[in-house]
Amino acid sequence: RFDGKVFLEKLRGKTIVIVGDSISFNQQESLTCLLHAAVGPNSKITTGTMGPYNSNYFQEYGVTIAEFYTRFLAQITTEKIGRVLKLHLINDYGNVWKDADVLIFNTGFWWDVNGNQKGWDFIQDGENNPIVRDMDRTLAFRKALTTWAKWVDSGVLNFAKTKVFYQGFYPDHYRPSEWGRPELKDCAKETEPMSGSTYPAGPPPRLSIVEQVLSSIKSPVQFLNVTTLSQLRKDGHPGRYSDAGNGFVDCTHWCLAGIPDTWSSIIFAYLTLDENMA
């Protein structure tokens, strides 16, 4: 069971950085809320920016919970032709991430987005390879994740100091036929979690890529495989109550309190049992 005071005491003076997109930030919000509830309303907490991070600083413990927004982990450069997603380069801020005591990484959702919202105009795999308008997105995902894995193994991180996690695939719930409700349009009318411990449609196809890439890493990286337990929570999204407006039904992000608190409990277990975090 998550114990905020035990967590803060264990990580006294340390910085946790969550690197990923807005879904990853459900994790940051969960951790911050759980810790705030533990220390009470009179505790001094500073919210703001810390370099490239949005952060919450728990002054009594010297603990920082920070977030760094990146959709792809890979670098996007602005060139004359437009924004180029460089699959072979880690995000420029990798040299800042390395100073954290705990790093939690994720990428996934944005690899299937098209149009102007996708965040890039062209894509390149390798400095000597041509810049192209698009490529197979699953292959691009694998390439970028492999670049991240090579960065982890490059020696830039001090694993005597820094604990590294990769948060598994975050599922969405836009296809009710996956859980046996083809008459529905999305998750909006779901009010209960699924029973049992398996998801009828099985794991997302790219989860196997995550597992393969992580297994290739020689450095100590902990895989937080939250995918299946999150798939079972078709009821856990904001749905039509998101802040997007215009009737949009959000079956991607997660409600708080909710499933991200379970993710936080898993992280709590790993960190509090880790003797090197003392």
Token pair in block for residue 20 = 């990923």
Q: What is the DSSP letter of 250?
A: B
What pLDDT score was predicted for residue 242? 76
In total, how many domains does the chain have?
Answer: 1
Q: What is the rounded CA–CA span in Å between residue 248 and residue 23?
A: 17
What pLDDT score was predicted for residue 158? 96
What are the start-end ranges of the H helices in the chain?
4-10, 24-39, 94-97, 137-152, 207-216, 227-231, 259-273
Asked if residue 237 belongs to a domain, the reply is yes
Token pair in block for residue 63 = 């603990």
Asked if residue 113 belongs to a domain, the reply is no
Asked if residue 28 belongs to a domain, the reply is yes
Instruction: Confirm if 74 and 146 have CB atoms less than 8 A apart.
Output: no
Query: What CATH number has the domain bearing residue 154?
Result: 3.40.50
pTM across the whole model = 0.94
Amino acid at 27: Q
Q: What is the rounded CA–CA span in Å between residue 114 and residue 268?
A: 36
What pLDDT score was predicted for residue 150? 98
Q: What is the rounded CA–CA span in Å between residue 158 and residue 52?
A: 21
- Which positions of the chain have pLDDT values less than 50? none
Within 10 angstroms of residue 144's Cβ, the number of other Cβ atoms is: 26
What pLDDT score was predicted for residue 227? 95
φ, ψ at 17 (rounded to 5°): -120, 125
Range of the domain at 174: 4-70+96-106+149-277
Residues 226-245: tens digit of each pLDDT: 999 999 999 999 998 877 66
Asked if residue 141 belongs to a domain, the reply is no
Terminal-to-terminal C-alpha distance of the chain: 19
Asked if residue 143 belongs to a domain, the reply is no
What pLDDT score was predicted for residue 245? 62
Instruction: Confirm if 182 and 176 have CB atoms less than 8 A apart.
Output: yes
- Is residue 277 classed as helix, strand or coil in its secondary structure? helix
What pLDDT score was predicted for residue 52? 85
- Is residue 188 classed as helix, strand or coil in its secondary structure? coil
What pLDDT score was predicted for residue 106? 96
Token pair in block for residue 116 = 């102007």
Instruction: Confirm if 157 and 164 have CB atoms less than 8 A apart.
Output: yes
What pLDDT score was predicted for residue 49? 87
Looking at every residue in the chain, the average pLDDT score rounds to: 94
Asked if residue 10 belongs to a domain, the reply is yes
Q: What is the rounded CA–CA span in Å between residue 145 and residue 202?
A: 22
* Of residues 118, 161, 117, 150, the one with CA closest to residue 137: 118
Q: What is the rounded CA–CA span in Å between residue 241 and residue 256?
A: 12
Instruction: Confirm if 222 and 163 have CB atoms less than 8 A apart.
Output: yes
Amino acid at 103: L
Asked if residue 111 belongs to a domain, the reply is no
